[in-house]
Amino acid sequence: MSVLVWNFRRLGNPQTIRELGNFVRAQDPAVMFLAETWLDEVRLKSLLQNFVYDQMFVVSKIKQGGGLALLWRSDFDVKVVSSSLNHIDAVINSGKENSWRFTGFYGNPETHKHHESWAILKNLNRNFSLPWLCAGDFNEILRSHEKKGGRARPEVQMRDFRETLDECVFADLGFIGQKFTWCKRLTGGVTEWERLDRSVANHERISLFPSYSVTHLDMAFSDHKPLSIHMEGLPIRNQRPWRFEQVWLNDESCCTMVEAAWESPFFSSNPMSVVKANVNNCQRILKEWSRVSFGNISRTLAEKKKQIKVAEGEVVRSGNGDWLHVLKAELRELLTKEEKLWQQRSKLHWLKEGDQNTRYFHGKAY
């Protein structure tokens, strides 16, 4: 099973909803923790109703910012035991031998209130003695090397954070991917980078799932990277059959390819044999045309994300984020095209143009 953790920064944005759908489809998390939704419970449940997470616990926003949400599937035993503006604490498989604890955490973004966030963690540490996984945006770094650009972080702030994790007997679970999870473009094209988001766990939790992995996912519509926490390996997905893609109609040459395919010199006394031959010829031509002229969107997306990783490393070294900005714009355009593919494949006639990718949405595509 896996857990997806993301500081979303305004979930009501249609683009971020679309990107969340992409992550759900790719990672298939049993549990999701979202921070900074900027929404109240009614609005949040309305936006996420098609994600087929049967259960949801929401901490509504206060004023403009904030807001937390924990979502999970009905086949997953989750019991929320406490919450605040900065956390949602839950027990998994309560009362069973393999029970453990998950806390989705959001550290106060105001520096002078960090002590309040650390007090919450210390208090949670006193409540249970279960294997404990805690993940989210802590809004603080552990060491100076977890920050590049902008003003230096005072040592006392980092020390307080380290001492809090030590008191909770937490170990950092590390990561796969780009080191920094948050970035901000400053004046003059300079980019500030920090590792604000992380997963930590106590020794009992690590022993329960020793083959864990934490991946920093690439994103296009948020300043925070999502964390994908896999407990036991990565999911394997089956290959989909070939089909005509509606998004191809956006390319003028598609019609030309279809017309050419149906003009093939095939003759038969059986009209249906002619139709079958033309359909097969059309499929063959479109498959080659798509590969050469249109490309595989999933493959192109993967390649674009690789380019973004390289660009992020270059930006960290040079400080110039212009090329990264261009690549992310291209990624957003590809994500929009990919969404159209899944809209067609879902075959849900009630699906309106504005609805976004969800686990249900993709689960219906075959």
Tell me, yes or no, whether 171 and 288 share the same domain.
no
**Cα dihedral sign for 236, 238, 239, 244?**
negative
pLDDT at 163 over 90: yes
Same domain, 44 and 121: yes
Whether residues 51 and 124 share a domain: the answer is yes
What is the model's pLDDT at position 61? 82
- Comparing 341 with 3, which gets the higher pLDDT? 3
User: What is the pLDDT confidence band of residue 292, given thresholds at 50, 70 and 90?
Assistant: low
Comparing 40-54, 330-344, 350-364, which segment has the lowest mean pLDDT?
350-364
- Asked whether residue 58 falls in the same domain as residue 113, the answer is yes
Distance CA 313, CA 331 (A): 17
pLDDT of 65 higher than 60:
yes
Q: Do 50 and 167 share a domain, yes or no?
A: yes
In a domain, 323, yes or no: no
* H helix intervals, 104-233: 114-125, 155-167, 203-208
Query: Residues of 2-21 as b/e, b for ≥16 C-beta within 10 angstroms?
Result: bbbbbbbbbbeeeebbbbbb
Confidence (pLDDT) at 267: 60
Q: Residue type for 290, please?
A: S
**Amino acid, res. 43:** R
For position 294, what pLDDT does the model report?
55
Comparing 124 with 21, which gets the higher pLDDT? 124
Contact 72, 32 (CB under 8 A): yes
Nearby residues of 362 by Cβ (< 8 Å), 6 or more positions away: 21, 24, 25, 342, 346
Query: Does residue 200 fall inside a structural domain?
Result: yes
Same domain (yes/no): 73, 216: yes
**Is residue 195 domain-resident?**
yes
Same domain, residue pair 187 and 91: yes
pLDDT at res. 282: 85
> Is the pLDDT reported for residue 13 higher than 90?
no
pLDDT at res. 32: 96
Position with higher pLDDT, 13 vs 30: 30
State yes or no: pLDDT of 148 exceeds 70: yes
Residue 45, pLDDT above cutoff 50: yes
Residue 88, domain member (yes or no): yes
Structure-block tokens of residue 75? 């086949």
**End residue of a domain, out of 256, 275, 294:** 294
In a shared domain, residues 276 and 193: no
The residue-averaged pLDDT of 115-136 equals 95
| Measured distance CA(160)–CA(118) in Å, rounded | 8
Residue 99, pLDDT > 70, answer yes
* Predicted pLDDT at 236: 42
**Are 162 and 210 members of one domain?**
yes
> Average pLDDT, stretch 261-276?
69
Tell me if 328 is assigned to some domain: no
Per-residue pLDDT reduced to its tens digit, 282-291 = 888 887 777 6
d(CA 30, CA 28): 7
Q: Looking at residues 155-163, what average pLDDT do you find?
A: 97
Give yes or no for residue 74 having a pLDDT over 80. yes
Residues 104 and 213 in one domain: yes
Q: Which of 70-79, 193-202, 302-311 has the lowest mean pLDDT?
A: 302-311
Say if residue 138 is in the same domain as residue 10: yes
pLDDT in tens, 343-364: 655 544 334 444 444 444 444 4
Which residues, in sequence order, are bridge partners of residue 103?
89, 134
List phi, psi (to 5°) of 7.
-80, 105
The CATH number of residue 67's host domain is: 3.60.10.10
pLDDT of residue 240: 53
Confidence of residue 124 (pLDDT cuts 50, 70, 90): very high
Predicted confidence (pLDDT) at residue 145 exceeds the cutoff of 70: yes
Whether pLDDT at 69 is above 50: yes
Q: Are 184 and 260 in a shared domain?
A: no
| Residue owning tokens 């599937």 | 73
Q: Name the residue range of residue 199's domain.
A: 2-230
Residue 132 domain-assigned (yes or no): yes
Inside any domain, residue 106: yes
Residue 80 has pLDDT above 90, yes or no: yes
Given a cut of 60, whether residue 81 has pLDDT beyond it is yes
Q: Bridge-partner residues for 183, per DSSP?
A: 193
Q: How many domains does the chain divide into?
A: 2
Residue 312 located in a structural domain: no
Among 135-139, 191-195, 245-249, name the most confident range: 135-139
pLDDT score recorded for residue 328: 85
The predicted model gives 176-183 an average pLDDT of: 92
Give the mean pLDDT of the chain: 83
